[in-house]
Structures are given as structure tokens and as C-alpha cells.
Amino acid sequence: MAVINVTAGSQAILTLGNTSALAIPGAAGSLSVPLMQDVTISTTPGTVRYSTLDATSSSAFTTVMENEVSFNMLVDDNTFFGLSNTTNSVANDGLWTTSNSKTEIFFSVAFEGTDTDDYYFSGQGFIGGLAPSASIDQAVWISPGSIIVNGDLSKAQVS
């Protein structure tokens, strides 16, 4: 048993690609979103509550999972606006164009880095929630972002 220490700078990684292979942590041609201040994976089952005449407390049953990845980042120009990449259209187009065109992407969130057997979550979805802001006090552009997950999150290990 051990906590997963992310302070070395190489553990918590959000990787994007237009194919599932390109979204594996550390994959050649993948887009690792740099300068993230935080990343959050929300994975919650939908529930419906109901009451019956013979119970003093409500009951519940589950419906479907609602999954989302959200993050805050310092805006990197190549990541936000795109940098020539012949294999990965997400890296080529950048976050904003991919979001604006509502293109479905593949992603992974590495928990432990890119070494063999390191755990990560993967899935596919749509980039949203971009809201870049700048002020003289913060000195740089900062933006939140999210991936609205389409379908399941899958647990996997780097092979």
C-alpha cells in the first residue's frame, strides 16, 4: 500500500489522440497536455430514488455512469492552437479547434506515469469547458477544460 506521489512531475498525465493507440500514456505522436495545474476524474453513477409505503427511508437504483475529466492549465500555444503533427489530428488542430469542431477524441489519464504496468484510465469523448482568461495579476493565460466522456472509462496498465 502506498500513496501515488505526483510531485516528480511525470505521474499525472492527460494524453489525447484521434485514435485509442495515440492516447496511450507515452505513445509516440500523442498529445500530452502540458502545464496542467490539476486534473479531476469525475465518475458517478446516475441514481433514481423512490419511496414505498412500507419503508421509513427512500430506496435507490442506479442508472448509467456519468464520467467527466476536468482540468485547469496554463495555456500553451502549441497545445491550444495546434502544432504540425501528421499522425495525431488532435495535436495538429489544437484543443480549441478540436473542441469547436466537436470532434470526438480518445484520451487517457495516467495515474503513475508511462512505465510498464503503470495504471491509467482511458476513454473517448468531447473536449469542452475551455474558457481562457488573462489578467495582469495572473500574468499568463489560464484555462479550465474538460472532456465529456462518451461511454465507459476503462482501467488499463501501460504495456
**Sole binder of another protein in the list 19, 26, 36, 43 (CB under 8 A):** 36
**Residue 22 or 109 with smaller CB distance to another protein:** 109
Q: Is 41 in the site for another protein (CB under 8 A)?
A: no
**Residue 130 or 142 with smaller CB distance to another protein:** 142
User: At its nearest, how many Å lie between another protein and the CB of residue 2?
Assistant: 19
Give the span between the Cα atoms of 66 and 126, in whole angstroms.
14
Q: Is 60 in the site for another protein (CB under 8 A)?
A: no
Convert the chain into a string of H (helix), E (strand) and C (coil): CCCCCCCCCCCCEEEEECCCHHHCCCCCCCEECCCEEEEEEEEEEEEEEECCCCCCCCEEEEEEEEEEEEEEEECCHHHHHCCCCCCCHHHHHHHHHHHHCCCEEEEEEECCCCCCCCEEEEEEEEEECCCCECCCCCCCCEEEEEEEECCCCEEEECC
User: At its nearest, how many Å lie between another protein and the CB of residue 38?
Assistant: 7
Q: Is 37 in the site for another protein (CB under 8 A)?
A: yes
Judged by CB under 8 A, the chain residues 77 through 136 that form the site for another protein are 136
**Residue 44 or 132 with smaller CB distance to another protein:** 132
**Sole binder of another protein in the list 34, 45, 46, 151 (CB under 8 A):** 34
Pairing of the two strands 13-17 and 104-110: antiparallel
Which window, 11-19, 60-68, 89-97, 114-122, contacts another protein (CB under 8 A)? 11-19
The residues that touch another protein, with contacts defined as CB under 8 A, are: 6, 8-13, 32, 34-39, 73-74, 136-137, 139-140
